[in-house]
Amino acid sequence: MIKLYYDNKKALDEIENLIQQKRGNKIFINKENNTGIFIHGDNFDVMISLLDEFENKIDLVYIDPPFNTNSDFYYSEYNTSTVSASKNDIVAYSDKMSFEDYLEFIRERIVVIRKLLSDKGTLYFHIDCKVGHYIKIILDEIFGIDNFVNDITRVKSNPKNFKRKAYGNEKDVLYVYSKVPQKNIFNNVLVPLTIEEIKKSFPKSDKNGRHYTTVPCHAPGETKNGDTGKEWKGMLPPKGRHWRCSPNELEELDNNNLIEWSKNGIPRIKKFSDEHKGKKIQDIWKNYKDPQYPIYPTEKNYEMLSMIIQQSSNEKSIIMDCFCGSSSFLSAGIDNNRYVIGIDKSKVAIDVLTGKRDNLKDICIIDL
Ligand SMILES: C[S@@+](CC[C@H](N)C(=O)[O-])C[C@H]1O[C@@H](n2cnc3c(N)ncnc32)[C@H](O)[C@@H]1O
């Protein structure tokens, strides 16, 4: 196995011992009476205290921890700027650890997250390109490389014109890991085609302005005895092919004006863009840029979080963000009917949750 070496790296046993020592501090949660919980505190201790109740139970964990930027992140009640802080802003959180301490801080938390995940669970680890490669090696070490699912490139912002002697940086990354290979929930969420894609794939339009394209009435492979090898309007399917549907169904399509006939009398089936189910999501995400006027510094895109939740958990699944900041992930979770667990150690995170997230008013808040 390939491992990363750095000063202060603990043996895995040491982390396990630490977890066992801290396991005495339990948090009792009555799940019946609320839609989720937010716990204010350090996520290492909090997650350990959740183990009794949630070990192997959480289907999805999304985290967007500090990126080891050596910066403070400011919050203003009125307008949290993505670019500059003003003198009345308060520090929401500070991101100033040595690189080695940072890696170990992340590693300890990944060990506990893995314990909390269910066998069909998935971790999405949101990070930038500067430290991401080191995190990937730690994830391989703790989860096992067999559980690597995806390395997503996410376009996070519009192009920037920094003075640095470097290309502009408009992307960050998400590493996706399953707890058990191929057992992870993956609902094959589809996304609608863009207008450009519709124009390209459905170039024709009918008298009502509906975009469509046509496909042959036949498909590869011969049918021996079935209907799809029989005559339709005096024609047999071409050699080596069969009709896409039975002659009766083709007749019905034709009666409903869903077959287009060429000048040479070749029939083709019409396919309309508004009946297209959507396309599979690939590993470059261009449509999930972060809000320009976030309610909390580094607030992430709501639609992206909602899609991740639909993709990798089911209704009523327990899902967690243990660096939850503005509670964006919790908010998307509640809208998708999941039981949400949020943890953050920033006081500002509670203020934003209680003051700015109406759909989270029923979650139980625990301030340790
Ligand atoms: C990048 S922000 C998360 C932003 C969030 N994804 C959103 O959309 O608003 C990282 C968060 O991690 C929190 N954090 C950092 N260290 C923590 C720790 N040890 N325990 C709990 N929260 C922590 C910070 O307070 C901050 O809110």
Question: Closest ligand 1 atom to the C-alpha of 294?
Answer: 9
Q: Can you give the pLDDT at residue 86?
A: 65
Q: Whose CA is nearest to atom 18 of ligand 1?
A: 42
Instruction: Enter the DSSP assignment of 219.
Output: E
Q: Contact, 285 vs 153, CB < 8 A?
A: yes
3-state percent helix, strand, coil for the chain, nearest multiple of 5 = 30, 25, 45
- Render pLDDT for 285-300 as a digit per residue (tens, 0 to 9): 999 999 999 999 999 9
In 193-216, which positions are buried (b, 16+ CB within 10 angstroms) versus exposed (e)? beeeebeeebeeeeeeeebbbbee
Q: What single string gives the DSSP state of each residue in 335-362? A: HTT-EEEEEE--HHHHHHHHHH-GGGTT
Is 243's C-beta closer than 6 angstroms to any atom of ligand 1?
A: no
Question: How are beta strands 71-75 and 90-95 bridged, if at all?
Answer: antiparallel
The DSSP 8-state label assigned to residue 55 in this structure reads: T
22-31 pLDDT, tens per residue?
998 878 787 7
Which of 323, 341, 348 has the most ligand 1 atoms within 8 A of CB, as the residue to mutate?
Answer: 323
Domain spans of the chain, in order of start: 34-189+281-367, 195-275
pLDDT per 10-residue tile (average), the chain, 368 residues: 92 97 83 89 97 96 97 80 64 96 98 98 98 98 98 94 89 98 98 94 95 97 91 95 97 97 96 96 97 94 98 98 98 98 97 95 91
CA of 64 to the centre of ligand 1 (A): 7
Ligand 1 centre to CA of 211 (Å) is 46
Among 194, 196, 201, residue whose Cα is nearest residue 215: 201
Would you say the CB of residue 342 lies under 6 angstroms from ligand 1? no
- CA distances 203 to 199, 262, 276, 298, Å, are 5, 16, 14, 41
Q: Which amino acid is at 154?
A: R
At 267-289, the pLDDT tens digits run 999 999 999 999 999 999 999 99
Ramachandran category for residue 17: left, alpha or beta (phi over 0 → left; psi -120 to 50 → alpha):
alpha
Q: Rounded to 5 degrees, what are φ and ψ at 53?
A: -90, -30
| CATH superfamily ID and name for 34-189+281-367 | Vaccinia Virus protein VP39 (3.40.50.150)
Which residue's alpha carbon is nearest to atom 27 within ligand 1? 325
